[in-house]
Amino acid sequence: MCRVVAYYRVSTAKQGQSGLGLEAQRQAVLALCQSRGWEVIAEHTEVESGKVANRPQLTAALHRAKVTGSTLVVAKLDRLSRSVAFLSALQDSGTKFIAADMPEANELTVHIMAAVAQAERQAISRRTKEALGAARAAGRKLGNPNGAAALRRAGKGNAAAIAEVKAGADDYARDLAPVVADIRAAGKVSLGAIAAELNARHIQTRRGGKWHPSSVRNLLARLQSSVVV
């Protein structure tokens, strides 16, 4: 079953207090989820202009969707298209996204991001060819350590790859730090208890799996080494 984190936004305090607009958004999201058999695990409501970059509930919704492997759902596509901050946060987080009034927008977003990735790949390919051309012009033999293999390794070697993996794991641990702190504050401090609570909250491991005492131990060790909690 697909899990969903819902995000609702209105622009004025008056609308927020009266529920005007919010209830319609909520009904649109719930109707979509019910029609597809999706489970709404969290709802976040924001009373803020779409022009404002600092939107705490949006940040919280993106965080919850990220750590639970859920899809972020909003009622109307204009919650996305009118907000540069929303677009930037969504793209940076990598969170799956659907608008209830136009579900295919998710596919459109994927295509746009794929086009950007393709453009970057083409740019990398062009730079590599230019580097190889310069190497040839300098009289280098491309089969030796100064050739193509060396140029590729210079772009991204083993050390860089390892560092990137570690940075990704550290980032994910930081995402989970407040969740772990909340679980501990509730009196669940053993590895097994923390693992059970993470699973109960639908929070996945970085690789999308279930939590076990051993994976919790690794997480706590990473948090401690990063002085996060």
Do 98 and 18 fall into the same domain? yes
Residue pLDDT, tens place only, 49-102: 766 667 899 889 989 998 999 999 988 766 655 555 556 566 666 778 888 887
pLDDT score, position 80: 57
Do 45 and 121 fall into the same domain? no
Do 56 and 66 fall into the same domain? yes
**Confidence label for 141 from pLDDT (cuts 50, 70 and 90):** low
Per the DSSP assignment, residues forming a β-bridge with 40 are 4
pLDDT of 105 strictly over 50: yes
Whole-angstrom CA distances from 201 to 16, 47, 65, 176 are: 28, 26, 11, 12
Do 144 and 227 fall into the same domain? no
**Confidence label for 222 from pLDDT (cuts 50, 70 and 90):** confident
**Confidence label for 228 from pLDDT (cuts 50, 70 and 90):** very low
CATH number of the domain within which 50 lies: 3.40.50.1390
Active site residues: 11
Do 131 and 167 fall into the same domain? no
Do 23 and 68 fall into the same domain? yes
Range from 16-30, 154-168, 185-199 carrying the lowest mean pLDDT: 154-168
Last residue of a domain, one of 113, 140, 155: 155
Q: What is the mean pLDDT of the chain?
A: 76
- Structural domains counted in the chain: 3
**What is the value of pTM for the model shown?**
0.54
Do 16 and 93 fall into the same domain? yes
Do 34 and 18 fall into the same domain? yes
**Confidence label for 43 from pLDDT (cuts 50, 70 and 90):** very high
Could you tell me what percent of the chain has a pLDDT over 70?
A: 63
pLDDT of 227 strictly over 90: no
Do 134 and 205 fall into the same domain? no
Residues spanned by the domain of 131: 105-155
Residue pLDDT, tens place only, 170-196: 888 888 888 998 899 889 999 999 999
Do 32 and 88 fall into the same domain? yes
pLDDT of 166 strictly over 60: yes
Do 96 and 150 fall into the same domain? no
**Confidence label for 28 from pLDDT (cuts 50, 70 and 90):** very high
β strands within 11-61, DSSP E: 39-47
Do 11 and 93 fall into the same domain? yes
If you search the block for the tokens 């350590």, which residue do you land on?
A: 145
66 Cβ contact list (under 8 Å, min separation 6)? 93, 94, 95, 175
pLDDT of 225 strictly over 90: no
Q: Tell me the C-alpha distance between 96 and 64, whole Å.
A: 12
Closest Cα to residue 76, out of 86, 89, 65?
A: 86
β strands within the chain, DSSP E: 3-10, 39-47, 71-74, 96-99
Buried b (16+ CB within 10 A) or exposed e, 112-150: eeeeeeeeeeeeeeeeeeeeeeebeeeebeeeeeeeeee
